[in-house]
Amino acid sequence: MNIFIAGGTGAIGRVLVPLLVNAGHKVVALTRSPDRTSQLEQMGAVPAVGDVYDEVRLARLVAESEAEVVIHQLTAFGTKDGDPYAETIRVRIEGTRNLVSAARAARVRRFIAQSISFMCSPSGSGLTDEETPLHLDAPAGVRPLAEAVASLERQTLDANRMSGTVLRYGWFYGPGTSYDPEGSIPTAIRKGTMPIVGAGAGTYSFINLRDAAAATVKILAHEASGIYNIVDDSPARLSEWLPFAAKLLDAPAPGHMGEALARQKLGDMRVYYMNEQRGASNAKAKREFNWQPTFPSWRTGFEALYLNRSRESSDAV
């Protein structure tokens, strides 16, 4: 089928686009930078230079692609031009609105959007599922992101004349993510600047980039609308995965920081992630799509990511 993807050169896009092409789909990929057209061509996609905030040009590009499906994988966490969170909030609200509008005008039949599994209400116990409400009563430092996620999901599911699918991915790890061996999180772990906050009760549901991309291709083959959590089978508290990662990285054991001090020094958002968030269940996606992640546990995924890099570094020496 004909697919228009926004975010084709992002962390997941770099994995997803080749999978879509190899599956026989014609992929047109939006990029703001003419410098990235060759990268997209090497992945087998047709580049379309434009900006998600340029509504007129965006509508023309989507129409010219003759897309049957639009896939929204845009974030701005890697931006160098401003606040990554603020820019990602904008793209989830305004960017989604423009993409939905362009898709609707081009009579696209299906819209698939990237969301996140870790912005659900922390109230209650156990894992969250697709019916768990978003954390819209969060503290001021967290609420704008929760509201942006709610906006993206609402716009996707309520798009007139289009089937809407929301993919709530877990915490991405793999090359090009913040968990990349040279990324911000391993760097902080090595420096000893990433502590266990409070009890370290924040429960992370991880997902390997390749598993996330493979799940997206699988779901594309099913005419299913609604919300789906795309996470691995093994949610883990910060107090569990952070010391494990530190050992793999030959880093010092993480220190501890009380919640009150962390709220003052690190802010509400990081306290939410590190001591409050709940893990997510992948039961719905596994049941409806017969999907199983290649890395059911972040433990084996982290070992593959960090130990392989360590061996490569040793061999180079």
State the pLDDT at residue 82: 67
Q: In this structure, which amino acid lies at residue 116?
A: I
Residue where the block lists tokens 């991880």 = 206
Contact 13, 29 (CB under 8 A): yes
Q: At 287, list the tokens.
A: 């049941």
The pTM is what?
0.94
| Residue 216: Cβ within 10 Å count | 23
For residue 34, what is the DSSP state?
G
State the pLDDT at residue 76: 78
State the pLDDT at residue 80: 64
State the pLDDT at residue 315: 41
Which residues contact residue 312 at a Cβ distance below 8 angstroms, ignoring those fewer than 6 apart? none
Q: In this structure, which amino acid lies at residue 257?
A: M
State the pLDDT at residue 313: 44
Radius of gyration of the chain (CA): 19
Strand bridging mode 206-208 / 171-173: parallel
State the pLDDT at residue 78: 64
State the pLDDT at residue 190: 97
State the pLDDT at residue 100: 97
Low-confidence ranges of the chain (pLDDT < 50): 310-317
Q: How far apart are the first and last CA of the chain?
A: 47
